[in-house]
């Protein structure tokens, strides 16, 4: 992208704007944890403050809108990266760094095996896509078999590892994998891709479908001059654990 494009972006949501939407929604999920730190499971009706509970539920539910946005950004990042291995390593490193802040922000514990942060899902998606594409020159039967095996394995990781499991209700990891595969296989059929993504997202407590609606307004632009502002990319890597740490401090 040249400087003129960065200075005069097209209408709609650039990748930068989508990332901003995503991080705001992540922060919103943390607000729920601060307002109602005991979580939404195992509640005793006699001890519930309904105002706090309502705010926590709304913040948590609205934050799920970010799931399709991050799934899309990850698939796009995979398509455009010059080094898939380095991209996967960056996401895995971010997931590991963010795990303790994630546990502190969501449960108040330094280690909680009940849910792992959803960045692990993004890293697994990149590995899954790389494995699928490694067989793209093989016969159709082989490609399909590999795709099925890789998809099942990725979904199993999400379920067994409790990756992105929110309040024992919403499994963000599973939805991220499903959407990533839809975005991978149907990229040439925009309407079908978005309709199927919205339908699958609606099955996960409705709200993620609004994230697909947000993606409909993307403009395909990066949104900043990568050559002169390479720090923007790294800023968003740093913002995720930073936001979690801020809310963990409350």
Q: Which long-range contacts link 37-44 to residues 24+ away (Cβ below 8 Å)?
A: 37/108, 39/106, 39/107, 39/167, 40/167, 40/169, 41/167, 41/168
Average pLDDT of the chain to the nearest whole number? 88
Task: Sort residue 167 into left (φ over 0), alpha (ψ -120 to 50) or beta.
Answer: left
Sequence-distant (6+) residues with CB within 8 A of 5 are 221
d(Cα 81, Cα 42) in Å, to the nearest integer?
43
Question: What pLDDT was estimated at residue 41?
Answer: 52
Give CA torsion, residues 62, 156, 113, 93, to 10 deg: -80
Question: What pLDDT was estimated at residue 33?
Answer: 66
The percent of residues in the chain predicted with pLDDT above 70, rounded, is 89
Q: Tell how far CA 150 is from the center of its chain.
A: 19
Strands (E), 135-211: 165-166, 170-171
Q: What's the pLDDT tens digit per position in 119-150?
A: 999 999 999 999 999 999 999 999 999 999 99
- What is the DSSP secondary-structure string of 227-238? TT-THHHHHHHH
d(Cα 54, Cα 83) in Å, to the nearest integer?
44
**Ranges of each domain in the chain:** 11-248
- DSSP character for 188? T
Question: What pLDDT was estimated at residue 37?
Answer: 56
Higher pLDDT: 1 or 237? It is 237
Question: What pLDDT was estimated at residue 50?
Answer: 72
When pLDDT is averaged across residues 2-26 and rounded to a whole number, the result is 77
Q: What's the pLDDT tens digit per position in 15-38?
A: 999 999 999 999 988 886 666 555
| Band (162; pLDDT cuts 50, 70, 90) | very high
Question: What pLDDT was estimated at residue 230?
Answer: 84
**Count of alpha carbons within 13 angstroms of residue 125, beta-carbon side:** 31
Q: Is residue 185 classed as helix, strand or coil in its secondary structure? A: helix
| Band (7; pLDDT cuts 50, 70, 90) | very low
pLDDT at 52 > cutoff 80: no
The number of beta carbons lying within 10 Å of the beta carbon of residue 76 is: 16
Beta bridge partners of 218: 13
pLDDT at 8 > cutoff 60: no
Question: What pLDDT was estimated at residue 1?
Answer: 43
The percent of residues in the chain predicted with pLDDT above 90, rounded, is 67
When pLDDT is averaged across residues 34-44 and rounded to a whole number, the result is 54
Question: What pLDDT was estimated at residue 36?
Answer: 56
Question: What pLDDT was estimated at residue 46?
Answer: 53
When pLDDT is averaged across residues 204-229 and rounded to a whole number, the result is 91
The number of beta carbons lying within 10 Å of the beta carbon of residue 67 is: 30
Question: What pLDDT was estimated at residue 4?
Answer: 42
- DSSP character for 170? E
pLDDT at 189 > cutoff 60: yes
When pLDDT is averaged across residues 98-117 and rounded to a whole number, the result is 89
CA distances from 200 to 53, 62, 194, 203 (A): 27, 17, 10, 5
Q: Dig out the tokens for 126 from the structure.
A: 């990149």
When pLDDT is averaged across residues 223-231 and rounded to a whole number, the result is 86
The angle subtended at Cα 242 by Cα 197 and Cα 70, nearest 5°, is 10
Sequence-distant (6+) residues with CB within 8 A of 201 are 67, 68, 175, 179, 208, 209, 211, 212
d(Cα 28, Cα 211) in Å, to the nearest integer?
15
| Band (56; pLDDT cuts 50, 70, 90) | confident
When pLDDT is averaged across residues 213-239 and rounded to a whole number, the result is 90
d(Cα 125, Cα 102) in Å, to the nearest integer?
20
């Amino acid at each position: 992208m040249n400087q003129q494009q960065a200075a005069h972006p097209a209408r709609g949501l650039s990748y930068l704007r989508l990332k901003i939407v995503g991080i705001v929604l992540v922060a919103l999920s943390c607000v729920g944890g601060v307002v109602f730190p005991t979580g939404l499971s195992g509640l005793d009706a006699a001890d519930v403050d309904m105002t706090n509970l309502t705010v926590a539920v709304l913040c948590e539910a609205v934050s799920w809108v970010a799931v399709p946005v991050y799934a899309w950004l990850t698939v796009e990042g995979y398509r455009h990266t010059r080094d898939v291995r380095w991209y996967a390593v960056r996401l895995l490193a971010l997931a590991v760094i963010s795990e303790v802040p994630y546990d502190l922000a969501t449960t108040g514990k330094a280690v909680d095996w009940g849910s792992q942060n959803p960045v692990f899902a993004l890293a697994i998606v990149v590995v899954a896509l790389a494995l699928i594409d490694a067989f793209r020159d093989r016969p159709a039967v082989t490609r399909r078999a590999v795709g099925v095996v890789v998809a099942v394995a990725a979904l199993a990781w999400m379920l067994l590892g409790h990756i992105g499991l929110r309040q024992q209700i919403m499994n963000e990891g599973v939805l991220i994998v499903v959407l990533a595969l839809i975005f991978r296989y149907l990229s040439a059929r925009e309407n079908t891709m978005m309709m199927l993504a919205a339908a699958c997202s609606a099955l996960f407590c409705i709200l993620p479908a609004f994230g697909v609606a947000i993606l409909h307004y993307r403009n395909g632009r990066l949104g900043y001059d990568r050559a002169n502002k390479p720090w923007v990319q790294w800023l968003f890597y740093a913002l995720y654990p930073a936001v979690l740490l801020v809310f963990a401090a409350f």
